[in-house]
Amino acid sequence: MAVTTDRMIRPFRIDVPESDLEDLRDRLARTRWPEELPGVGWSRGVPLGYLKELADYWRCEYDWRRQEARLNDLPQFTTDIDGETVHFLHVLSPEPGAFPLILTHGWPGSIVEFLEVIGPLTDPRAYGGDPADSFHVVIPSIPGFGLSGPTHDAGWTTARIARAWAELMDRLGYQRYGAQGGDWGAFVSPELGRIAPDRVAGVHVNAATFGFIPFGPVDPADVATFSDGEKARVERLNRYMSDGNGYFQLQATRPQTVAYGLTDSPVGQLAWVVEKFKEWSHAGETPDAAIDRDLMLTDVMLYWLTRTAGSSGSLYYENMHGSSWGQQPGKTPTGVAVFAEDVAIRRYSEYGNNIVHWSEFETGGHFAAMEVPNLFVQDVRTFFRGLR
């Protein structure tokens, strides 16, 4: 594909200096640990015993070079959009009729969220699926996150990210495509449908919140009409608002202050991310009961190695202080996958979205593509089957 110089797409390969890995191991070995009250478990954050064991595994057993090689086995590229360098995976299907699909991660996620689903999405034939369900996948790192960060100027709201994605897909030559996303990706993907309605054939979301949940307290009369599943989601949402959104308030108001500790202490960065893998996954006693430990640590590594704790957290600040709220209702056909730890409710989702597909699952959580990749792939395939 021919591109002009300022729209150039460049091949990319991860090559972390050994000195960075040595520095990480040294910092982990010299961790200054806090005290802990007895018997509190996860109620006040990540337990000391669990984090010590995980940090020791990270230092002594986790193999970054193996994970780096896995990432480098995938076609990676960078391109400059709106003043920032955007990193992305672009994996083509072997099937000639494959449909383009852009997938957007959230926080505290990364491109690592999608590693388990790239194969089944791009090459369903090799995984026992129908080749007619194949996709060419584009998986960008959000500006400010991992290999697309840190950002160099303010104003990177989800609307600006969506405009960058529209430009990216145009540069790749895709005239018609689908969009999928969870967490912040469930903000970006519907916005992409509004920005490029003639290009985006459909939007699929999971881990959806704003635009898919009640805004403010729910009238008891409405709650009385809810299904048992919807009542459970309202309870989960209420618990989150009262006891689980401290990270949101910090990153939406003082992301720079939080960044110092997270950028200087690998254990601080580890705890900041791992707590959410525990709270938001459909896990047992520990987050790695639901998500592969090495995948979880590779996700943490993309924050640590790139020093993007602050710039990724700033997305909360930008959206809370920007104009990314109150969008016009979207007309793009939209599908919602509600996994066991999600909070989306259909009647509220329909106010601002053209809901044509709705699935509810009894397992899985916020990181569905990592936790239950088969269910995730199945729902994405089903939704886009009639929109290609």
Q: Which residue numbers are catalytic? A: 183, 316, 366
Q: Which residues of 347-366 are buried (b: 16+ CB within 10 A; e: fewer)?
A: ebbeebbbbebebbbeebbb
Give the Cα separation of 3 and 38 in Å (integer).
Answer: 61
Tokens of 258: 């939080």
Distances, alpha carbon 202 to alpha carbons 84, 205, 367, in Å: 27, 10, 21
Distances, alpha carbon 199 to alpha carbons 4, 69, 79, 100, 190, in Å: 22, 34, 21, 11, 13
| Rg of the Cα atoms in the chain | 20
Nearest to 191 by CA among 215, 156, 217, 216: 156
Give the Cα separation of 202 and 177 in Å (integer).
Answer: 8
For residue 198, count other CB atoms closer than 10 A to its CB: 7
Distant-in-sequence, close-in-space partners of 322: CB < 8 Å, separation ≥ 6: 155, 157, 159
**In DSSP terms, which residues pair with 140 in a beta bridge?**
88
Nearest to 299 by CA among 31, 30, 61, 71: 71
Distances, alpha carbon 100 to alpha carbons 136, 253, 376, in Å: 5, 37, 17
For residue 25, count other CB atoms closer than 10 A to its CB: 14
Give the Cα separation of 229 and 180 in Å (integer).
Answer: 24
